[in-house]
Amino acid sequence: MSHVKKIQAMLGDLPALVMTDAVSIRYASGFHIDDGAAVIARDRAWVVTDSRYVEAATAAIRDMQVLCTSRGHGVDAILGEIFAENGFERAGADPSRLTHSQWQWLEKAVGVPLAEEKTILYTLRAGKDKDEVDCIVAAQRIAERAFDDILGVIRPGMTEKEITAELVYRMYRYGSEGNAFDPIVVTGPKSSMPHGVPGELKVKDGDFVTMDFGALYNGYCSDMTRTVAVGHATDEMRRVYDVVLAAQQAGIEAAGTPGIPGKEIHNAAARVIADAGYGEYFGHGFGHGLGLEIHENPGANGDAPLPEGAVISAEPGIYLPGRFGVRIEDMLWLHDGVAEDLTLAPKQLIIL
């Protein structure tokens, strides 16, 4: 899935854009390269890789010339040749993707001054096109199949780690390329930890189990959270669950307003939780942008209007320390004046 032409259309008077991080290269070329570089000029583009990837890259990449390094002729040498042969007198690079030493190395390699260019990829990646959304949806359907399976697996006596292993196995089985992030599977009092780490704690009758996980498809992430009860749920557990679900729905409804700032979406959900008396137990934001990375632009809780095409999570929660917590998370695609929910997994309280 190449985005070269979109990047070229945004170069303006910048002769070339250089990138060396794997995520940016994948966004441009549609191909994953761990160690390499890409150069995009107004009418040409190049990917530099090595012998591990060159055959597959050549077959997969369109709109870019694939160049291969060799011993004694590395990425820096090839970048220098590209710039010298094309007469580029300056170039842009994203400093947020480079350490200071990497910036110095890159500027020396291309042999021209580098200007900070943070807006092109930020702008393009913040709004997803249909092909990107299709990949996110495909990843989500994999995760949902795994979730459907795991509901028949969880039982008292299982550890958090065992549930995690079963979940990850099923995502791979159904086509995931890997985990979008390290899964969060917590039970009982640990469910009050939003980013708790799966351990040896065993599920007991009357516990909540919170599962936050995602699959990968063509490099794109999915992200979902579901909280289920095992055996039974107390009245308080049901009440907290219902408040979180109502808060999520309020945020989703607010997100359907074109150009709405992320903080207003967050506030719509937070008000529901505060009005129910649990305001101090919701400490994180309503959501975050996601795509090739599990957390990426746009920021979904700030002052800036969310752009057309943004994909964000919708994940309010209530966390009662030492007792239990509830989080429910879907993904939303903001387009054409609606907040389309990309998640199909059921959200009513499930008691196993």
* Mean pLDDT value across the chain: 97
pLDDT score, position 300: 78
Q: So what's the pLDDT on residue 126? A: 95
pLDDT average, residue stretch 191-204:
98
- Identify whether the C-beta of residue 172 lies closer than 8 Å to the C-beta of residue 182: no
pLDDT interval class at 301 (50, 70, 90): confident
| Among the listed residues 265, 278, 288, the one whose alpha carbon sits nearest the alpha carbon of residue 326 | 278
% of the chain beyond a pLDDT of 70: 100
pLDDT value, residue 337: 93
What's the average model confidence in pLDDT over 306-331?
Answer: 97
Q: Is the pLDDT of residue 17 over 90?
A: yes
Instruction: Provide the CATH topology of domain 4-126.
Output: Creatine Amidinohydrolase; Chain A, domain 1 (3.40.350)
What is the pLDDT, as a whole number, of residue 291?
98
Please name which of 309, 306, 314 lies closest in space to residue 347, comparing C-alpha atoms. 314
Residue by residue, DSSP assigns 15-42 as -EEEE-SHHHHHHHHSS--SS-EEEEES
| CA angle, residues 204, 208, 211, in degrees to nearest 5 | 115
What pLDDT sits at residue 117? 96
What are the sequence ranges of the domains in the chain? 4-126, 130-341
Q: Which residues contact 350 (CB under 8 A, 6 or more apart)?
A: 151, 226, 228, 229
Instruction: Output the pLDDT for position 313.
Output: 98
pLDDT exceeds 90 at position 52? yes
Task: Give the span between the Cα atoms of 94 and 113, in whole angstroms.
Answer: 13
Laid out side by side, the sheet with 224-229 consists of: 184-187, 208-213, 224-229
CA separation, residue 184 to residues 81, 221, 301, 341, 344 (Å): 46, 15, 22, 22, 20
Assign domain 130-341 one CATH number from 3.40.1370.10, 3.40.50.720, 3.40.50.970, 3.90.230.10: 3.90.230.10
Q: What is the mean pLDDT of residues 171-191?
A: 98
Dmax over Cα atoms in the chain, in whole Å?
Answer: 72
74: nearest Cα among 45, 49, 104: 49
Separation between Cα atoms, residue 34 and residue 56, nearest integer Å: 13
- Distant-in-sequence, close-in-space partners of 118: CB < 8 Å, separation ≥ 6: 94, 95, 96
Q: Which amino acid is residue 47, in one-letter code?
A: V
Q: What are the tens digits of pLDDT across the range 227-280?
A: 999 999 999 999 999 999 999 999 999 999 999 999 999 999 999 999 999 999
Q: What is the pLDDT of residues 122-180, one digit of tens each?
A: 999 999 999 999 999 999 999 999 999 999 999 999 999 999 999 999 999 999 999 99
Confidence at residue 1, expressed as pLDDT on a 0 to 100 scale: 86
Name the residue with tokens 């913040």: 126
Average pLDDT over residues 87-100: 96
